[in-house]
Chains A and B, each alone.
Chain A
């Protein structure tokens, strides 16, 4: 589909970094405030969908192929399962929280003062799931928008 007018393109490209920062904040503080991986990933994906609507799907498809988004999503899935398997190797059982008191980072116990250095393997799992959801939802929207454009129907 074609893009929209020049005013819409300017305003949406001005508001895009703020939506990205808001989404990454929700992903990163998942163990202290309401939020987490799934919610933050949905916010970032809807910010990217705003750029897709403003600039047109033909313009976006020339710059971001769906192969790169597929690589991002697979990285997120492998990271999530790898963190669960490391719990089996280092501890005793699957999904064990093995860097809670023994690791380099994220290794304190929470006392209610909203310290970000707490909670073991949970923030790393939040990053992996957030990356997966962000790449997956944006790939679905991009592929569906491109498949119904005029250039595709001419083929």
Chain B
């Protein structure tokens, strides 16, 4: 069991993010929790493709040993950029919600507001 510690770190990140989404009331704390879940998933993708005592998959002139797998690193690049894009849109919507309603509490927002 001592050899699976990076995967237990991934599980810890995902569970902390899930706790922040489920049990907090402020909208900004929920957004921070979503970012933590995305970071955990990116870490999981990278640690899947590691070989023991390996170098980066770049061919220089020296004949070396084993190389890590390059495909999970390419998938993680795409995932990080998509995470940044979704975070920007979420924060924009939070700014507009605060300007319109004056509060950021989820319980008060979901009980119905004073619409006309």
State A137–B85 Cα separation when bound (angstroms).
9
- B60 near A112 with CB under 8 A, answer yes
Cβ-neighbour of A112 out of B59, B81, B84, B88 (below 8 A) = B59
Q: Is the interface of A mostly helix, strand, loop or mixed?
A: loop
- With an 8 Å Cβ cutoff, the count of chain A residues facing the other chain is 15
- B59 near A144 with CB under 8 A, answer no
Report chain B residues within 8 Å CB of A112.
59-61
Report chain A residues within 8 Å CB of B77.
36, 38
- B58 near A38 with CB under 8 A, answer no
State A121–B60 Cα separation when bound (angstroms).
21
Report chain B residues within 8 Å CB of A34.
56, 58
Q: Does A114 belong to the interface (CB within 8 Å)?
A: yes
- A114 near B88 with CB under 8 A, answer no
B92 closest partner in A (C-beta): A144
Q: Does B90 belong to the interface (CB within 8 Å)?
A: no
Report chain A residues within 8 Å CB of B60.
112, 114
Instruction: Quote the shortest CB–CB distance from B97 to chain A (angstroms).
Output: 14
- B95 near A147 with CB under 8 A, answer yes
Report chain B residues within 8 Å CB of A33.
58
- A113 near B61 with CB under 8 A, answer yes
CB proximity to A under 8 Å, residues B41-93 = 56, 58-61, 77, 81, 84, 88, 91-92
State A26–B55 Cα separation when bound (angstroms).
20
Can you list 10 A-B contacts with CB-CB less than 8 angstroms, sorted by A residue number?
Answer: A32-B58, A33-B58, A34-B58, A110-B59, A112-B61, A113-B61, A114-B60, A137-B84, A144-B92, A147-B95
